Amino acid sequence: MNRRSFVRYAAVAALLPREVAAVLRAQGQEGHKRLLQLNAYALDAETPLDLLTGYITPNDLLFIRSHYVAPRIDPASWTLTIDGAVSRSMRLTLGDLQKLPRTDTTCVLQCAGNGRSLFTPHLAGVQWRHGAVGNARWTGVRVKEVLDRAGLRSGAHHLHTFGSDIPPGQVPPFHRSLEMEKVLQDAIIAYAMNGEPLSHDHGAPARLVVPGWAGDHWMKWLRQIVPSRRPQTGFYMDTAYRYPLLPGKPGQAFKTEEMRPLTALFVKSTITSAPTHAPVGMPLTIRGFAFSGAPDIVRVEITDDDGKTWTPADLDHQHDPYAWRLWSWTWTPQAAGIRQIAVRATDSRGGVQPREPAWNQSGYLHNGWHSTRIEVTA
C-alpha cells in the first residue's frame, strides 16, 4: 500500500461506526478536556502551547498520537517476549521487569509530524501545529539490561519492536525497528512516567523511550522485541517515517530509496508565552522551550529585525540530556508599532535552527523559526 492509498483507507476507516463508537468510548473514559483533538480515528491530540511552560509536562497534558484504537492490557497478565538473535529467548512479566535495575531519564517526546500543518504546499496526515511534544521523566529498565540477560548475538544490528495495537481491516500494522547501536546506548523500556504508572493512552503497561529520537520509535504497549540482522520491512519502515537523504524543492516527491528512516530530532525552539499587545517603555517577557536530537541546547537567541541581529535569551538552570531547556527573554519596547519577534536555538553539536524547515513530503520534523507578533502601543 502506498502512502496515498493508505491515507484514503484511513479516511474511510474513520467512518466505520464501530471504530467511531470505540473512540468516543475511549474519550469518555479518559476525558482529555484540555488537549486539542485533531482527528476522529484514532486518538490524536496536541497540547496548547500555553500549557507547555513547565520543565515537566504533566501526565494528563502530554500529547497523544495513536495510529489505531489503544488496546486495553491487563498489567497482571502482560508479558514482554525477547527472542530472535539471542542465546536465551525470554518472557518477562511486569514484576520481572520491575525487579531489574531501575533507571530514570528526563527527555523530550516529540512526534515526527509535529508542525506538519505549517509546511507549504500542504500535506496529508495529522495536522499537528506546535503541541505534539512534551518533556517527561521516564522510569524503567535499559533495553541493554534485558538484552544482556537474553545473550545478544553479534551481528544483530537492528531491534524489531512490536506493540499490541491492532489496525482496522487492511491497514498495515505499526511494526518498527531501530539501530541496535542507539538501543544499547540509552533506550529504555519504561513503565512509569513522572512517577506514575504509564497511562493507557501513553502505552501501558510498558513502552520504549528513545532519548533524542522522534516519537515513532517509542513503541507503546510493547509486547515483543526481536534483535535481528536486518531492519524490519513493511509500510511503517519502507514508506512512512523516511526522510530525504538530500534536500529537495518544496513539493518534490522523493522515491523510497532517496530517503532513509528518520531517527534523531532536529534542533528547535518554540514560543509558549508572549503578549499580543504591550505598552512602550514597560518590560515584557517572552518564554519558551528548546530541544534537539543532540543532548544539550547551548544557545537560544531572539531577533526583532528578521534575523539581522540576535540577542541571547536566558536559559533556565534545569536540564538533562535530551530534555528541553526552558528559556526566557525580557525586553522593553522603545517605540510604538508592530514587532515580529522570532527565536532560534543552537545545540551542543553546533546544529542551528534554520529559518525554513527542510522540505520533505511527509511533513516531518518542522523546525523553522517560530515567531510571534507584538503590537506595541504608545
Q: Is 67 in the site for ligand MTE (CB under 6 A)?
A: yes
Q: Is 65 in the site for Mo ion (CB under 5 A)?
A: yes
Backbone angles phi, psi at 146, to 5 degrees: -70, -45
Q: Which residue has the cell 544490528?
A: 157
Report d(CA 179, CA 231) in Å as an integer: 8
Closer to ligand MTE at the Cβ: 63 or 322?
63
Closer to Mo ion at the Cβ: 45 or 111?
111
Q: Which long-range contacts (CB under 8 A, 24 or more apart) does 114-120 make?
A: 114/46, 114/365, 114/366, 115/357, 115/363, 115/365, 115/366, 115/367, 115/368, 116/362, 116/363, 116/364, 116/366, 117/363, 118/357, 118/366, 118/368, 119/250, 119/357, 119/359, 119/363, 119/366, 120/250
The one-letter amino acid code at 2 reads: N
Give, in order, the Cα–Cα distances in Å from 143 to each of 136, 148, 264: 19, 9, 18
Q: Which residue is nearest to Mo ion (CB)?
A: 111
Q: Which residue has the cell 495510529?
A: 67
Neighbours of 102 (CB within 10 A): 15
Selection from 93, 316, 57, 86 nearest residue 193 by Cα: 57
Looking at residues 85 to 114 of the shown chain, list those that interact with Mo ion (rule: CB under 5 A).
Answer: 111-112
Answer for which of 49, 61, 62, 126 binds ligand MTE (CB under 6 A) is 62
Answer for which of 119, 138, 191, 221 binds ligand MTE (CB under 6 A) is 221
Q: Is 235 in the site for ligand MTE (CB under 6 A)?
A: no
Count the alpha carbons within 13 Å of 299 in the hemisphere toward its beta carbon: 12
User: Quick one: what does residue 46 bind among Mo ion, ligand MTE, none, with the CB cut-off 5 to 8 Å set by partner type?
Assistant: none
Looking at residues 89 to 118 of the shown chain, list those that interact with ligand MTE (rule: CB under 6 A).
Answer: 109, 111
Answer for which of 38, 56, 64, 73 binds ligand MTE (CB under 6 A) is 64
Looking at residues 138 to 197 of the shown chain, list those that interact with ligand MTE (rule: CB under 6 A).
Answer: 163, 165, 174
The site that binds Mo ion (CB under 5 A) totals a number of residues, namely 5
User: Quick one: what does residue 67 bind among Mo ion, ligand MTE, none, with the CB cut-off 5 to 8 Å set by partner type?
Assistant: ligand MTE
User: Quick one: what does residue 202 bind among ligand MTE, Mo ion, none, with the CB cut-off 5 to 8 Å set by partner type?
Assistant: ligand MTE
Q: Is 293 in the site for ligand MTE (CB under 6 A)?
A: no
Report d(CA 17, CA 86) in Å as an integer: 44
Q: Is 215 in the site for ligand MTE (CB under 6 A)?
A: yes
Interface positions with Mo ion (CB under 5 A): 65, 111-112, 215-216
Interface positions with ligand MTE (CB under 6 A): 62-67, 109, 111, 163, 165, 174, 201-203, 215-216, 218-221
